[in-house]
């Protein structure tokens, strides 16, 4: 297996309106590693992902992916290596059926029949949505759309996955399924998310961005235990690490309601 890794080397980017989005950002990612990219809104996460996908070009510094420097001339090659899952699955799914959407990437890379159909079906099986192959994407649920969006990039057999808010707007079961799926992939993964519980579940290391700069690169537990750092970066620890009040509100199911489980605060009844 090639030693693919990602290397951000003093990358800076300023938007044409003068907004400095990234400043001297440096970090490395090793092959097979899952890195969480966290930070408050406006910290520079989206800009960083756009630079990685080649939608924006860094004004200074360099980004290497698998030993290949990302420049406008290498971007086609880079995109063969990179699977980018967008925040809004509706932006990612644009073909008439899920099958055609999943086939789009490999077909662009020159995969033709008779290899194309088995590749697509295999990918759909891996993501558990083979039964949705001939459904129009807009008829799918949020979780199914997300799984289809992931399938669309997996079909191009990338070495690295870049996921922007992979659990965004998913119900707990769908969120759990996506986490299990991502954990099952051997790809290097860069996951930008506000869902710190997901980051804690999945990632080996965390890159904390604050006002366009790297505030910390460390294992999730180390970062999330550092209250001072989190506060400085406008973040809160994952829900499961937050201390519950010793006598928090207690809930009980009110009997006699057959159609709706009515929950009332125990204290409110007193």
Partner 1 sequence: MSRLSSTIDGWRSFDSFAAEGLISGLDPRTIILSALCTVIAMTGAGKGEVMVLLPLAAFPLTLLVLADIPPMWLVKRILPVLPFALMIGLLNPWLEQGTVTLPGGAEISTGWFTLASITLRALISAATALLLIASVGLLNISRGLAGLRVPALFITQLQMLFRYFFVIGEEFQRMERAWRLRSGSRRGRMPLKLAAQLLQNLFLRSLARAGRIHNAMLARGFSGEVPAGAPLHWRLRDTVWLAGWAGFALLCHSNLPMLLGTLLTGQPQ
The Cα–Cα gap between 169 and 186 comes to: 25
Regarding 175 and contact with partner 1 (CB under 8 A), the answer is: no
Which stretch in 17-25, 74-82, 223-231, 235-243 sits in contact with partner 1 by CB under 8 A? 74-82
* Token pair recorded at residue 190: 């860069």
Applying CB under 8 A, among 19, 55, 180, 240 the residue interacting with partner 1 is 55
Q: Find the shortest distance in angstroms from Cβ 7 to partner 1.
A: 20
What sign results for the dihedral spanned by CA atoms 56, 61, 65, 67?
positive
Regarding 140 and contact with partner 1 (CB under 8 A), the answer is: no
What sign results for the dihedral spanned by CA atoms 68, 70, 75, 79?
positive
Regarding 96 and contact with partner 1 (CB under 8 A), the answer is: yes
Q: Find the shortest distance in angstroms from Cβ 185 to partner 1.
A: 17
Locus of tokens 């010793």? 246
Regarding 24 and contact with partner 1 (CB under 8 A), the answer is: no
Nearest to 234, CA basis, from 22, 41, 20: 41
Regarding 103 and contact with partner 1 (CB under 8 A), the answer is: yes
The Cα–Cα gap between 238 and 250 comes to: 21
Which stretch in 21-29, 134-142, 168-176, 236-244 sits in contact with partner 1 by CB under 8 A? 134-142
The Cα–Cα gap between 55 and 34 comes to: 22
User: What is the C-alpha radius of gyration for the chain, rounded to an integer number of angstroms?
Assistant: 21
User: Which residue lies nearer to partner 1 by CB, 79 or 175?
Assistant: 79
Interface mask toward partner 1 for 148-167; x: CB under 8 A: ----xx--x-----------
Which stretch in 15-23, 32-40, 59-67, 109-117 sits in contact with partner 1 by CB under 8 A? 109-117
């Amino acid at each position: 297996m090639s030693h693919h890794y990602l290397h951000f080397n003093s990358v800076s980017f300023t938007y044409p309106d003068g907004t400095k989005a990234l400043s001297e950002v440096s970090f490395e990612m090793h092959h097979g590693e899952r890195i969480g990219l966290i930070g408050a809104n406006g910290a520079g996460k989206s800009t960083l992902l756009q630079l990685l996908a080649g939608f924006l070009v860094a004004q200074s510094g360099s980004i290497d992916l698998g030993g290949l420097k990302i420049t406008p001339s290498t971007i086609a090659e880079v995109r063969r290596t990179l699977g980018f899952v967008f925040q809004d699955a509706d932006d990612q799914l644009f073909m008439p059926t899920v099958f055609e959407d999943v086939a789009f990437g490999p077909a662009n890379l020159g995969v033709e029949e008779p290899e194309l159909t088995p590749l697509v079906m295999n990918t759909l099986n891996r993501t558990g949505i083979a039964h949705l192959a001939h459904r129009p994407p807009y008829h799918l649920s949020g979780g199914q759309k997300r799984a289809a969006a992931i399938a669309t990039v997996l079909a191009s057999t990338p070495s690295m996955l870049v996921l922007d808010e992979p659990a965004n707007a998913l119900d707990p079961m769908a969120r759990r399924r996506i986490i299990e799926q991502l954990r099952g992939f051997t790809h290097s993964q860069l996951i930008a998310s506000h869902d710190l519980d997901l980051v804690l579940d999945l990632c080996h290391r965390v890159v904390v961005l604050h006002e366009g700069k790297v505030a910390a690169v460390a294992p999730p537990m180390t970062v999330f235990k550092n209250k001072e750092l989190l506060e400085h970066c406008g973040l809160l620890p994952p829900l499961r690490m937050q201390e519950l009040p010793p006598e928090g509100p207690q809930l009980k199911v009110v009997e006699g309601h057959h159609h709706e489980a009515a929950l009332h605060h125990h204290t409110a009844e007193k």
